[in-house]
Structure 1
Amino acid sequence: MFITTGFRRALLSALATPILLSACTVGPEYVRPPATPVMPTAYKELNGWKTAQPRDASLMGTWWELFNDPQLTALEEQVVISNQNVLAAEARYRQARALIQATRAGYFPTVTVGASAINSRQSANLGSRTTSQSATTTETLPIDFSWEADLWGRIRRSVEASTASAQASAADLAAARLSAQAGLAQAYFQLRTLDSQKRFLETTVSYYQKSLQLTRNRYTSGVVARSDVLQAETQLKSAQAQAIDVGVQRAQQEHAIALLIGKPAAELTIPFSPLDAVPPPIPVGLPSALLERRPDIAAAERQMAAANAQIGATEAAWYPTVTLSASGGLQATGLSHWLTWPSRFWSVGPAVSETVYDGGLRRAQDEQARAAYEASVATYRQTVLTGFQEVEDNLAALRILEEEAGVQDETVAAARQTVAITDNQYRAGTVSYLNVLVAQTTEVANELTAIGIRGRRMIASVLLIQALGGGWNAGSLTAGGEQDRK
């Protein structure tokens, strides 16, 4: 009620000029630079390799369902809610969103309200000797208003940078989630590979036990020498030791999975189940789509946009700063007159300031911002090139491992036939036990190699899905950014 018509006119007059000029924004407008000098039209490692066609044209967010493994699906669903690295990334994203609002606060004025009661007494050596030297109390109820006009877009550029940084943080969150999910799938298939090895070694131990008993019987009958029995015992113990050693590796993989789903190792037990799956058909798409499908590439691009906006924020420091300040309230020397109309006071007026010398500070900050932008461009391009490399690596791995698996299966079949023939020859007494030992050792080595290749193929398929972005899409960042700006 204490704001007069004159105060309102002065306030509106002071606001008019900054508002009319506030459309000016300094600094370069952001334009995404080319990711690479030449964008490939297709992946090199797909040439000459016909893969099975996937049912869907693109990856889905729940990409692990491609493997049709209920146990894997149940574990993957726990990553988002329990993995501590993912939760930390989610907290950093919320922090970045809060920073947007903190930066936007610069658009609005700062208004403070306070009350004070000051008791004072003037010195007797000052002023007129007739002035009363008694103590007085002054009660004040002020309202202060301050607003910096964003004439050159410093605040707008800062908000732009904060928004881009928040979008980069959202992409970092997606990358952390994908990394944890892919890491879990790799550990899971490695565990299943170890289960297959253990099953084979247990079967081998059973076979070697029968072979040892046969050799002992032949030794008792005087057909073979004691050395044949010792060789059979050595072979059996070696296979038993291998089977036990697999248990150590399996326990470690199980513990790694527990860590990825945010549980103590003691609380997770995964049932034994050998690996029988084959890599599913994976929609690869075009190289150009990789820029939108990988969260790490999107994060690097958004960091580049934030660095570009910071250039404008630093350039605004070269221009004058216009600040509108106003204050008003009630003031009196007695409570009886404090809250009355004659006790009102007010003042209003703009202030213009310009830094004329700062020892090169603004120039250094501008150069720093431009160098940071150039570094972010190089980081973005390197991230894109790394993405292409990872896709090509895993396409090559799947193609070559598929060929290797076919050859290895033929090797295993030949090794099994060799064992069968050599065993019959040994029973007939035409070859020594050393021949049997060599044939069986060769078979075991090739069987384990074949199992290892199957596991490597499954892991390569997971790595390919991760390299392709795991069904994520940068469009979610655009939607989030538009929502943030509302």
Structure 2
Amino acid sequence: MKWRTALSGVPAALMLAGCAATVTPPPASTLQTPAAWRSAVEGQGSGPVAREWWQSFGDPALTALVNKALENNGDLRIARARVAQYRALVGVTAAGQKANVIVDSAPTRTRQLAYNGVPYVTNVYQAEFQASYEVDVWGRLAALTDAATATYQAEQANADAAALSIAATVASGYLNLRGLDAQLALTEATLKLREDSRDLAKKQFDVGYSSRLEWLQAQAEYQTTAEQIPQLKRAIFEQENALSILTGGNPGPIARGVELAQLEAPAVPAGLPSELLRRRPDIARAEYNLIAINANLQATRDQLLPSFKLTAVGGIQNLKWHDFVNAPTALWRLTGAVAAPVFEGDRVQHQTDAVAAQRDQTIYAYENAVRTAFAETDNSLGAIVRLREQAIQNDARRATAAETLRIAHNRYSNGYASYLEELDAQRTLFTADVGRLQLKTRILVASVDLYRVMGGGWTKP
């Protein structure tokens, strides 16, 4: 009879299955994939690139520096610790789908008054265990576990994004350092030429062949060039310290590898597919966040549905220790509970609406991440194209400047022109040489940036 009374509540509970909160539909997607990149880069071949894309620059020092940063960088260590934290939280959430067992031992000694006013002492020896298990009929607990798993995967993608950013920052910093090294070497070589020109102008002034003005102008040009050397050395010093910090060390020198003149940007294959952007960690993170919020939405919606919990309690008890150890009295209780909220003032519905709004925000964030990826990739491809075009013009300008300097030097040597003409030609050539080194560095850094925005190499892992 008791079982009939207990089971009579099940049909009523099942009727509540249709009482889950209503969920507004997600917004329609406005995301469109572009048919092609706006900037077309002429590449040479489309062979696979190693997952460690920084090795494609062929500089062992660069490879060692990036690997060291990925191992020791402080921000990456924090990101990986967060991944471990969210991995553990998945286990915490999944534990809700398993049985819960508690053991309790509570010997008690009490002194009380009897009905006749005489005090007496009672000993109670008891040991009890309790096991409970919630039957996940509607999948609410499984949805919570799915949400925790997706959140952990999103955190892993966030750590991958941090690693990609650190690798790109270190590679760009090293290439900029090699560019500064090359500019310093050029400036020091130019300073030697300025010194020779100054000494020649001084000799010609001493013998009366030229005016004091030409000698002072040669001296001023020498001092102008000499002034740039401390500036470059300071920039190199600060760049080395920045790279040292990125690699998890103290400020200090950085080992050098291949010279800037021998470094070449990896070829970019023509027709890079836009599907490669799906490897970007920020897009993967946005996808996992969307999965997590959908699972949370399901769990929130199902709070109004009845929950089914089985509870078993068993134990032993006696008033004497000897009997408790040798012949205790066994006690047990088995309960099957069905619980469902009847009225909560629309609390669950409002919670569901709030999570649905978060879902819409996550959808918009995902679309924004994809659009940003398209824009960054197009910008990087466009930068490589325009920088290469600029380098061609720079080569032509340098060739013209070199020929101008040759003619000006001959005219000055033969007495047909003043030193000012040769000095102006020297400045023009030096400016073109500095521009060439800067363009070479910018093209290399643009290649690093293209690796970053594409999420790695050119082929899917």
Distance 2:22 2:60 in 1: 52
8 Å contact kept, 1:122–1:133: yes
The Cα shift of 1:322 comes to: 2.2
Is 1:143 matched up with 2:133? no
Match of 2:38 in 1: 44
The Cα shift of 1:151 comes to: 2.0
* Cα distance change on mapping 1:391 and 1:335 into 2, 3 Å: same
* Cα distance change on mapping 1:427 and 1:464 into 2, 3 Å: same
Which of the numbers 275, 290, 300 marks the counterpart of 1:314? Answer: 300
Match of 1:6 in 2: none
Match of 1:94 in 2: 84
- Secondary structure class of the residue paired with 2:133: strand
8 Å contact kept, 1:109–1:145: yes
8 Å contact kept, 2:42–2:270: no
8 Å contact kept, 2:277–2:455: no
* Cα distance change on mapping 1:63 and 1:304 into 2, 3 Å: same
Is 1:112 matched up with 2:102? yes
Is 1:83 matched up with 2:73? yes
Aligned runs of 1:16-415 on 2, under 5 Å? Answer: 37-46=31-40, 49-56=41-48, 59-124=49-114, 128-129=115-116, 133-266=119-252, 268-271=253-256, 274-276=259-261, 277-283=263-269, 286-341=272-327, 343-415=329-401
8 Å contact kept, 1:41–1:287: no
For structure 1, the 5+ residue unaligned runs are: 1-9, 476-486
8 Å contact kept, 1:325–1:349: yes
Match of 1:439 in 2: 425
Distance 2:118 2:387 in 1: 102
The Cα shift of 1:389 comes to: 0.7
Distance 1:451 1:176 in 2: 30
Match of 1:478 in 2: none
Distance 1:175 1:474 in 2: 17
Match of 1:484 in 2: none
Q: Partner letter of residue 39 of structure 1?
A: T
Distance 2:428 2:389 in 1: 21
8 Å contact kept, 1:41–1:286: no
| TM-score (ref. length: structure 2) | 0.91
Q: How many residues align?
A: 448
Aligned runs of 1:463-478 on 2, under 5 Å? Answer: 463-471=449-457
Structure 1, residues 126-178: CA drift from partner, whole Å, max 9, x if none? xx43x963110101001111222222222100111111111111111111111
The Cα shift of 1:287 comes to: 4.2
* Cα distance change on mapping 1:394 and 1:295 into 2, 3 Å: same
Structure 1, residues 412-442: CA drift from partner, whole Å, max 9, x if none? 1111111121122122222222222222112
Distance 1:251 1:73 in 2: 21
Deviating above 4 A after TM superposition, structure 1's stretches of 4 or more consecutive aligned residues are 24-29, 31-36, 283-287, 472-475
Distance 2:447 2:28 in 1: 29
Distance 1:221 1:424 in 2: 20
- Secondary structure class of the residue paired with 2:260: coil
The Cα shift of 1:273 comes to: 6.0
- Secondary structure class of the residue paired with 1:142: strand
| TM-score (ref. length: structure 1) | 0.86
* Cα distance change on mapping 1:90 and 1:107 into 2, 3 Å: same
* Cα distance change on mapping 1:32 and 1:173 into 2, 3 Å: farther
- Secondary structure class of the residue paired with 2:341: coil
Structure 1, residues 348-384: CA drift from partner, whole Å, max 9, x if none? 1122222233343212211111111111111111011
- Secondary structure class of the residue paired with 2:336: strand
Structure 1, residues 452-476: CA drift from partner, whole Å, max 9, x if none? 111100000000011110149998x
The Cα shift of 1:340 comes to: 4.4
Distance 1:380 1:303 in 2: 9
Distance 1:426 1:286 in 2: 54
8 Å contact kept, 2:42–2:268: no
Q: Partner letter of residue 426 of structure 2?
A: Q
8 Å contact kept, 1:219–1:229: yes
Q: Partner letter of residue 43 of structure 2?
A: T
- Secondary structure class of the residue paired with 1:44: coil
Distance 1:433 1:116 in 2: 105
Q: Partner letter of residue 255 of structure 2?
A: I
- Secondary structure class of the residue paired with 1:134: strand
- Secondary structure class of the residue paired with 1:339: helix
The Cα shift of 1:122 comes to: 3.0
* Cα distance change on mapping 1:235 and 1:54 into 2, 3 Å: farther
* Cα distance change on mapping 1:296 and 1:224 into 2, 3 Å: same
When structure 1 is superposed on structure 2, of 268-277 and 211-220 the one drifting more is 268-277
- Secondary structure class of the residue paired with 1:439: helix
Distance 1:412 1:474 in 2: 41
Is 1:418 matched up with 2:404? yes
- Secondary structure class of the residue paired with 2:119: coil
Q: Partner letter of residue 337 of structure 1?
A: D
Distance 2:52 2:21 in 1: 42
- Secondary structure class of the residue paired with 2:31: coil
For structure 2, the 5+ residue unaligned runs are: none
Distance 1:249 1:28 in 2: 61
- Secondary structure class of the residue paired with 2:132: strand
- Secondary structure class of the residue paired with 1:72: helix
Distance 2:428 2:367 in 1: 48
Aligned runs of 1:453-468 on 2, under 5 Å? Answer: 453-468=439-454
